[in-house]
Structure 1
Amino acid sequence: MVYFGVHNRKSIGKTIHQTLAGRRVELEKKEKQLSKLKSSLSVMGEELKKEKVETEYLVPVPDSWVETEPVKALKDKIKNWLVLKYPVHLIGPTGCGKTSIALQVAKEFGRPVVWLNGDESITTTDLIGGYSEVEVSTIRDKYIHNVFKDKDILKADWVDNPLTLACKYGYTLVYNEFSRAKPAANNVLLSVFSEGVLELPTQFGQERYVKVHPEFRAIFTSNPVEYAGIHRPQDALLDRMVGIYMDYYDRETEVDIVAAHAGLGRKEASSVVDLVRKVREKLPDAEKIGTRAGIMVSKILKNAGRFDRQSVKALLGDVITSKTKNREDFLHRIKVLDDI
């Protein structure tokens, strides 16, 4: 028997069967179109995922911002390092404005901002992500009535956490209270800053490694090591960062900040700031009160409509006793106020 690649039958002068070669060409064309469609859908899916992250996950930046010459100088210094892609580590006492300036600098870079808050219990998973759940699906094949075929499919869903999102999409990471996390949890940052690669230890194959986006930036904030609950980060990581020590702002800047946040005039804000600064001088470094204390007191005073010295001192007493260790310590703090 002789096999012909095509029948000679024709209809209205045209061959009604394709040749094998023609059929192959058509199939190859359809495969290319399908591959292109899958690639397009994959890109669309990634863009939709990114859009969802940016609208639901990212932390909004506060609008209140006061900029004096000293603040601008510090802000520009931080930005100069970040432009060169160096991670910046802001170190300073509680309430001196580390977080506020970190968020403002991140905002001015024009990229979305992801937030991470360090504490004793944080792990590497909290930074990079992990498998949130395992989906189980079962297929029952009953094509032949007396033959049963069961097939269980396990699918684990990976969820990205702040560091992975920032590295993958080029966001700005603000890692607040960085030194309150145990050093082991932050080891994953070493390859990010030295090789530009984020390793996801629990992933497999190509998905195990994420190339760091060129727009990725990182800002860290920490209290000095003498504060309670602080862990000294590993030297290998500190060597890859730029450390900038922040102290409390000058009087005029503090007055402007308190006035703006509490909605007060400079005269009322000055009366609060002056007392805050005097109390600050009398307390140990780890217990000093910051600009935040002045804002808290000013808001209550505005609500009560009272700005006399005794009212300010009474409210400051509530603020400075929040870290009281015992009765003796409490009495010492009250004496500090009375002596001013």
Structure 2
Amino acid sequence: MADDSSRKRKVRGRKIRSDRSKKEGRKAKKKLARKTPSASERNGDSPLSDPSDVVPENFVETDAVTTLRRRITGWLEADQPVHLIGPTGCGKTALALSAAAQRDRPVVWLNGDEAVDTAALVGDHAGGERYKESDQFVGGVSKQTEIVRERWVDNPLSVAVREGATLVYNEFSRSDPAAHNVLLSVFEEGVLERPGKRGADRTIDVHPEFRAILTSNDVEYAGVHRQQDALLDRFVGVHVDYYDAETEREIVKSHVDLADADVERIVEVMRSLRDELDLVVGTRAAITAAKGLAVFAGNGENGEFSDELLADVFMDVLVPKIAGEGPEDVSQLRTRIAESL
């Protein structure tokens, strides 16, 4: 009897150990499953945005803005990627985001610069995940299995083409043209190839609702690359210039609380300087000047600011554009501003 009881206890002990090892294996698999990126996590740092969340704050609707946006959305409906080109500070980015929101599809944002390469567009390997699973079947005998999974993270372009999102590629021409070779097959053949990705899912079929809006400064700006003609030939180019005086007044008023007469005066000076100076004087300059005037003086008597204060403020706003040049250029700028007043 004693011997049988001892044997049963040993068998029972082995079963307990075996059950525990299986349980640990199951826990390890669950842990790996939790670490393995889901479809949304593979998108990187959540590049998908709700269209209602991307509408720019203080976005102004005037006839000029609405007409231009309709051209953009019309080309998007025709399944054409739209390239917005124009001077800095004219509102290209806000217009692109507004047009993207109008489609009522998810929006993916991408900002171009010298660091953007193909991997930054389509995705890259983000290291591997490794774990060991140990099974102990009987006392003194164990089995270890090492599992390694390579982790791939999709970047904005891959997410946009797969999900049928609207890609807003800001400052497109600041990126190296070599990075944009992957766009050729996207716009021509409806397929995105992901260099570095292995397996059957190396390519992604472009979602039929995928669209792209790109913005670029004019080619004469510093840091702007000439893109390959084969790619530019697949875009529709919409030139965006500075808006009319009424629209620029509405834009400035939406950013700062000033009397209408003050805003009108600021925009008048800004538009005069734009015509007379060999500098880029965008709507953004008027917004900055208005914010400065609101802080330095508040509304002046009879809703007007002194010419001297206006000259000081516009001087501060525009001087960075001639940074590094001699004092004669600074003095000449001050004179030109005073003359425009």
TM above 0.5, one fold?
Answer: yes
Aligned to 1:93: 87
Please say which of residues 178-187 and 121-130 is displaced more in the overlay: 121-130
Q: What does the per-residue CA deviation read over 1:245-284, in whole Å, with 9 as the maximum and x for residues that have no partner?
A: 1111111111111112223343111111111111112233
Which of 51, 54, 63 is the equivalent residue of 1:60? 54
Find the residue that maps to 2:168 and give its secondary structure. strand
Question: What stretches of structure 1 of length at least 5 have no aligned partner?
Answer: 1-44
Aligned residue identity for 1:118: G
Aligned residue identity for 1:108: Q
Structure 2 residue 285 is matched with structure 1 residue 293: yes
Find the aligned partners of 1:182 and 1:54 in 2 and give their Cα distance.
Answer: 21
Q: What does the per-residue CA deviation read over 1:218-255, in whole Å, with 9 as the maximum and x for residues that have no partner?
A: 10000111100110111011000001111111111111
Which of 255, 261, 268 is the equivalent residue of 1:274? 268
Q: What does the per-residue CA deviation read over 1:47-68, in whole Å, with 9 as the maximum and x for residues that have no partner?
A: 7988x94777996332322122
Find the residue that maps to 2:204 and give its secondary structure. strand
Please say which of residues 80-89 and 61-70 is displaced more in the overlay: 61-70
Find the aligned partners of 2:83 and 2:135 in 1 and give their Cα distance.
Answer: 59
TM-score by length of 1: 0.80
Superposed, 1:59-138 pairs within 5 Å as: 60-138=54-132
Aligned to 1:26: none
Structure 2 residue 137 is matched with structure 1 residue 143: yes
Q: Aligned pair in 2 of structure 1 residues 56, 137: CA closer, same or farther (>3 Å)? A: farther
Find the aligned partners of 2:179 and 2:161 in 1 and give their Cα distance.
Answer: 17
> Are the aligned partners of 2:58 and 2:251 in contact in 1 as well (CA < 8 Å)?
no
Please say which of residues 126-135 and 238-247 is displaced more in the overlay: 126-135
Find the residue that maps to 1:275 and give its secondary structure. helix
Superposed, 1:83-232 pairs within 5 Å as: 83-232=77-226
CA RMSD of aligned residues (A): 2.3
Please say which of residues 155-164 and 325-334 is displaced more in the overlay: 325-334
Aligned to 2:317: 319
Find the residue that maps to 1:225 and give its secondary structure. coil
Q: Aligned pair in 2 of structure 1 residues 48, 220: CA closer, same or farther (>3 Å)? A: closer
Deviation at 1:46, TM superposition (A): 4.5
Aligned residue identity for 1:314: D
Aligned residue identity for 1:201: P
> Are the aligned partners of 2:168 and 2:214 in contact in 1 as well (CA < 8 Å)?
yes
Aligned residue identity for 2:318: I
Find the aligned partners of 2:50 and 2:158 in 1 and give their Cα distance.
Answer: 13
Q: What does the per-residue CA deviation read over 1:279-336, in whole Å, with 9 as the maximum and x for residues that have no partner?
A: 112233xx31100111111122223304333222211111111122322443332232
> Are the aligned partners of 1:190 and 1:237 in contact in 2 as well (CA < 8 Å)?
yes
- The share of aligned pairs that are identical, in percent, is 46
Deviation at 1:96, TM superposition (A): 0.6
Please say which of residues 205-214 and 306-315 is displaced more in the overlay: 306-315
Find the aligned partners of 1:231 and 1:332 in 2 and give their Cα distance.
Answer: 32
Please say which of residues 325-334 and 107-116 is displaced more in the overlay: 325-334
Aligned to 2:247: 253
Q: Aligned pair in 2 of structure 1 residues 279, 56: CA closer, same or farther (>3 Å)? A: closer
Q: How many residues align?
A: 293
Aligned to 2:229: 235
Aligned to 1:39: none
Aligned to 1:308: 306
